[in-house]
Amino acid sequence: MTWTASGQAIDCKHDPKFDNNLSPNFNSRINPEKNSNINPKFNWNINPLHNNDVNPSFNSTINPTNHFEFNPNINKNLNPMFHNEYHPKNPIWKGLYLFNKDDELIGYVSVATQQLMLSFNSQGEWTGFFVKAANGIYNFFDINGEWTGKYLCFDSVFGFNVFEKDGSWAGQHIK
């Protein structure tokens, strides 16, 4: 078991350094540079720039400025600053982990609802939230509710890959 900077233990079921199946470096099925089905540059169904259904600028039903039920700034029941169970510094926190391309821990993700996940950096500071756009696709918003252009796509097996607005893989993955 690996310990993180915020005192959390990374469960081996989530640790790509412990299980190579969880690492895009070792598992080409979950690597968007090797699997075009999970790469929005080649699969426009999962690319907000080419599919307005998953773009919050065009689809108001997935935009937290229009839907307060998944805006943690307005809905205090989803805000980790009011609900400590969502915060990775809480000793009983359970959630997902954000890794860089080298499988180093760079953040935490708390699943608040089926529609919303909260994002924290490696120090446990709240950085924003993910809103579900479609099955396996989440758009990332900063803590003020502005879409950053980044989004998550299901990696087809274990977790998610993080993509930039232009569809390029950010080299980050969530397990």
14 in helix, strand or coil?
helix
CA dihedral 159, 48, 46, 64 (to 10 degrees): 50
Q: How confident is the model at residue 8 (pLDDT cuts 50, 70, 90)?
A: low
Q: Which of 79, 84, 99 is nearest to 4 (CA)?
A: 99
pLDDT confidence of residue 71: 94
Mean pLDDT along residues 76-93: 95
What does the alpha-carbon distance between residue 94 and residue 162 come to, in Å, rounded to a whole number? Answer: 21
What does the alpha-carbon distance between residue 83 and residue 59 come to, in Å, rounded to a whole number? Answer: 29
pLDDT confidence of residue 130: 98
Mean pLDDT along residues 120-129: 97
Given a cut of 60, whether residue 5 has pLDDT beyond it is no
Give the mean pLDDT of the chain: 93
Mean pLDDT along residues 111-140: 97
* 91 φ/ψ angles, rounded to the nearest 5 degrees: -60, -20
pLDDT in tens, 9-48: 788 788 888 899 999 999 999 999 999 999 999 999 999 9
Mean pLDDT along residues 107-135: 97
84 in helix, strand or coil?
helix
pLDDT confidence of residue 7: 52
Q: Who wins on pLDDT, 3 or 145?
A: 145
* 149 conformational bin, left if phi > 0, alpha if psi -120 to 50, beta if neither: left
pLDDT confidence of residue 1: 45
DSSP H helices in the chain: none
175 touches 97 (CB < 8 A):
yes
Given a cut of 50, whether residue 58 has pLDDT beyond it is yes
Q: Where in the sequence is the domain holding 70, given as residue range(s)?
A: 2-174
pLDDT confidence of residue 15: 87
Mean pLDDT along residues 96-125: 97
Per-residue tokens: 25 = 């470096």
Q: How confident is the model at residue 6 (pLDDT cuts 50, 70, 90)?
A: low
Q: Which residue has the tokens 């756009």?
A: 133
pLDDT confidence of residue 14: 86
- When divided into structural domains, the chain yields a total of 1
Among 6-10, 23-27, 84-88, the range scoring the smallest mean pLDDT is 6-10
